[in-house]
Amino acid sequence: MITIALSKGRIFDDILPLLKSAGIEVLDDPDKSRKLILDTNQPDVRVLLVRATDVPTYVQYGGADMGVVGKDTLLESGTQGLYQPLDLQIAKCRISVAVREGFDYAAAMKQGSRMTVATKYVAIARDFFASKGVHVDLIKLYGSMELAPLTGLADAIVDLVSTGNTLKANHLVEVERIMDISSHLVVNQTALKLKQAPIRKIIDAFALAVKK
């Protein structure tokens, strides 16, 4: 049995064509079913639905043999024990700094001044501002980061941006792109040894489909 951990939403939707290229079709629709273990057309392949931030944990401890996870999540949670064979080039976006319209970001970034930054991505934000030699006070949030600059909770946010529509709708502007983000395949290292042939087959099919 090969168990693949996925999160609902963008990653699930974007991985379906890649799974298909490996001959795997998920039989249940996660939007209609409440099942957390989904069958596929391959009797020896199943899909686990887990939170995006839990995918590395499931794969690291062998609850799943492989999984698909955003680079943002990997950078935040660490990648101990995970084999990362492939950038799948799906669920692409970027992680950026955004501020309220009219906020003088350049002045706030001047060395010596202090800025408050709200984010779910504390590790990424800390590394980024440290690399610029800017001291920031970080506030950890779990969602709706856009509210922080609007309510005075923070001067800036670090968040994922795709079209930029969410920022625009909340009168925020993207002032700096920290890095591009896409989803990666992660594999449990023991599973790779014990189930080498079927796992390699999936990795190779994904690699071929990504290149196209």
Binding stretches for ligand AMP (CB under 6 A): 10, 70, 91, 93, 159-166
Of 19, 39, 18, nearest in space to 28 by CA: 39
Of 27, 101, 58, nearest in space to 191 by CA: 58
Nearer to ligand AMP, 57 or 166 (CB): 166
For the bound state, the minimum distance from the C-beta of residue 102 to ligand AMP, rounded and expressed in Å, comes to 20
Q: Regarding beta strands 156-161 and 115-119, do their DSSP bridges make them parallel or antiparallel, or are they unpaired?
A: parallel
Nearer to ligand AMP, 151 or 165 (CB): 165
For the bound state, the minimum distance from the C-beta of residue 165 to ligand AMP, rounded and expressed in Å, comes to 4
For the bound state, the minimum distance from the C-beta of residue 89 to ligand AMP, rounded and expressed in Å, comes to 12
Question: Is 169 in contact with 160 (CB distance < 8 Å)?
Answer: no
Q: What is the dihedral of CA 153, 93, 86, 80, to 10 degrees?
A: 0
For the bound state, the minimum distance from the C-beta of residue 30 to ligand AMP, rounded and expressed in Å, comes to 16
Could you give the CA distance from residue 64 to residue 62 in angstroms, rounded to a whole number?
5
CA dist 11 to 123, 171, 211, Å?
22, 28, 18
Residues 6+ away with beta carbon under 8 Å from 128: 97, 158, 178
Nearer to ligand AMP, 90 or 199 (CB): 90
For the bound state, the minimum distance from the C-beta of residue 29 to ligand AMP, rounded and expressed in Å, comes to 20
Nearer to ligand AMP, 49 or 192 (CB): 49
For the bound state, the minimum distance from the C-beta of residue 173 to ligand AMP, rounded and expressed in Å, comes to 12
Nearer to ligand AMP, 123 or 192 (CB): 123
Nearer to ligand AMP, 62 or 164 (CB): 164
Please state at what angle helix 196-211 crosses helix 10-21, rounded to 10 degrees: 100
CA dist 27 to 40, 58, 181, Å?
5, 22, 29
